[in-house]
């Protein structure tokens, strides 16, 4: 486990807030607007924001040709599948439950790290994974009946989570010697092209002008999600061990559940409250310093 620096902690808090409240924002945005088109427009509008950040911070745009194939694979596992599948799942499910299913990612990531990449999981790590898994199970307790009638949405969210988990592991181990912002820019650019293609292929007949609610959600995603959150997440992934970077964001679905209940009047049960405590345990297992570090501090 690794103790977070002040900068990493600030990034994590901002990331949690932005990504957490975005679940009901997305649900509102696609209530009367095609979901794949919503995602494509948001990414294209967010790309200049990300480009401006590279210019202001004097970060290079170039990626050597020898890394293009790996970059495309990173984009596919971290962004293509996630953004296509999860936005469709959000339209089918409640925003809170889509967030819960999407954030089974840390569980997939921990298991992939142990089984595929040979990353040992110590006792405290297994406690965190177990707490996160139990929190997800509790939050889904009252959803089983409803989910049984919407298996496609559930499957899409779980595929998105598992693929994102693989992408997180691959990004942590990438050999591309370029700044994280550079990789984030090109992964976002490639995703913009892919999402635009999917929107044109499957939703062309549904294209309409966005209303005020859709525009608000689009700009929220463009500036805060694609202009900031993804770059912040990729930075944490490359700086922290995979388990720490994944379990540390487990409060996002909790925030998604409660913001959805507040804005969209989605029902809450006692399991939601119990899950909050379990997510805090999961986060503490990776963010709380070991005894040796605490004693020296």
The better pLDDT of the pair 240, 58 is held by 58
Cα 185 vs. chain centroid, distance in angstroms? 16
Split at pLDDT 50, 70, 90, the class of 289 is: low
The verdict on residue 1 lying in a domain is no
The parent domain of residue 100 ranges over 6-291
Residue 101 has pLDDT above 90, yes or no: no
Per the structure, how many domains does the chain have? 1
The pLDDT of residue 156 is: 92
HEC letters along 158-194 = HHHHHHHHHHHHHHHCCCCCCCHHHHHHHHHHHHHHH
pLDDT band at 37 (very low <50, low <70, confident <90, very high): very high
Determine phi and psi for 288, rounding to 5 degrees.
-75, 125
Which tens digit of pLDDT belongs to each residue from 149-159?
A: 567 888 899 89
Does some domain include residue 124?
Answer: yes
With tokens 């994590």, the residue in question is 12
pLDDT range class, residue 187, cuts 50, 70, 90: very high
User: Do the domain assignments include residue 51?
Assistant: yes
pLDDT band (50, 70, 90) for residue 292: very low
Question: 120-141: per-residue pLDDT in tens?
Answer: 767 777 787 788 778 777 766 6
184 within 8 A of 234, measured Cβ to Cβ: yes
Provide the pLDDT for residue 72.
Answer: 97
202-244 per-position pLDDT tens digit: 999 999 999 999 999 999 999 999 999 999 889 888 877 665 6
- Quick one: tokens of 116? 């595929």
Would you say residue 296 lies in a domain?
no
**176 phi and psi angles, rounded to 5 deg:** -75, 120
pLDDT of 291: 53
88 CB burial (10 A radius; 0-12, 13-18, 19+): buried
Has residue 297 been placed in a domain? no
This prediction has a pTM of 0.85
Is 52 a residue whose pLDDT tops 90? yes
Average pLDDT over residues 190-211: 96
The three-point CA angle 244-248-253 to 5° equals: 140
In a domain? residue 152: yes
User: What is the C-alpha to C-alpha distance for residues 62 and 98, in angstroms, rounded to an integer?
Assistant: 36
Nearest CA among 124, 106, 223 for reference residue 167? 106
């Amino acid at each position: 486990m690794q103790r977070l620096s002040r900068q990493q902690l600030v990034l994590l808090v901002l990331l949690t807030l932005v990504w957490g409240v975005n679940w009901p924002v997305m649900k509102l945005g696609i209530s009367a607007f095609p979901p794949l088109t919503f995602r494509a427009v948001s990414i294209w509008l967010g790309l200049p924001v990300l480009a401006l950040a590279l210019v202001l911070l004097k970060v290079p745009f170039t990626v050597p040709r020898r890394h293009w194939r790996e970059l495309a694979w990173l984009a596919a596992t971290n962004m293509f599948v996630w953004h296509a599948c999860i936005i469709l799942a959000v339209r089918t499910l409640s925003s809170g439950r889509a967030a819960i299913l999407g954030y089974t990612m840390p569980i997939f990531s921990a298991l992939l790290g142990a089984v595929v990449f040979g990353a040992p999981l110590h006792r405290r790590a297994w406690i965190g994974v177990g707490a996160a898994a139990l929190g997800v199970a509790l939050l889904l307790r009252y959803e089983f009946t409803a989910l049984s009638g919407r298996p496609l949405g559930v499957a899409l969210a779980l595929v998105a989570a598992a693929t994102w988990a693989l992408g997180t592991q691959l990004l942590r181990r990438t050999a591309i010697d370029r700044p994280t912002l550079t990789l984030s820019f090109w992964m976002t650019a490639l995703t913009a092209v892919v999402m635009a293609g999917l929107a044109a292929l499957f939703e062309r007949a549904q294209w309409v002008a966005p209303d005020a609610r859709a525009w608000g959600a689009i700009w929220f995603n463009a500036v805060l999600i694609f202009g900031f959150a993804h770059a912040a997440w990729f930075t944490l992934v490359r700086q922290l061990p995979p388990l720490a970077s994944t379990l540390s964001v487990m409060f996002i679905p909790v925030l998604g559940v409660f913001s959805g209940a507040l804005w969209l009047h989605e029902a809450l049960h006692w399991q939601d409250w119990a899950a909050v405590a379990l997510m805090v345990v999961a986060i503490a297992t990776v963010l709380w310093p070991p005894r040796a570090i605490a004693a020296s501090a």
